[in-house]
Amino acid sequence: MKKDIDYYLDLNYDMKIRRLSEEEGGGWVGEIPLLPGCMSDGETVEELLTNVNDAKKCWLETCLKTGRSIPEPQEEAYSGQLRVRLPKSLHKALTEKAREENTSLNQYIVYQLARSTGQQVNK
């Protein structure tokens, strides 16, 4: 597969945006961390997004013309497993709550974590 400008523009690069204070001139600033120096600003979020996308296109075109390598976003792989050390008292309290709910400790912890992050959970 030929990796041309359209290929790179279709990749899902993360963007960080933040509101600028009045001392900084107001408006918004955004950057694409994976593409060093690729950033722009705008008076509104819409203007910022337009400007950052234009900066991204120029950044990518420059790399393609000069033969510089272009980093690509990577999907993070999650195993679904997590080892956590916790105080014995908390372990006991969680185990007791799981028993009250008539469920496994693992399922109880998953449920509570999902609830605390706003995830949809089925009990």
* Residue 121: predicted pLDDT: 67
Average pLDDT of the segment spanning 73-88: 86
Q: How many domains does the chain have?
A: 2
pLDDT surpassing 80 at residue 12: yes
Buried b / exposed e along 47-59 (16+ C-beta atoms within 10 A): ebbebbeebbeeb
pLDDT category at 87 given cuts 50, 70, 90 is: very high
The range of the structural domain enclosing residue 27 comes to: 5-66
* Residue 59: predicted pLDDT: 97
Query: Do 61 and 82 share a domain, yes or no?
Result: no
Is the residue at 58 inside a domain? yes
Query: Do 61 and 10 share a domain, yes or no?
Result: yes
- How many C-beta neighbours within 10 Å does residue 44 have? 10
Average pLDDT of the segment spanning 28-57: 96
CATH number of the domain at 50, please: 3.30.160.250
Query: Do 52 and 29 share a domain, yes or no?
Result: yes
Query: Do 11 and 58 share a domain, yes or no?
Result: yes
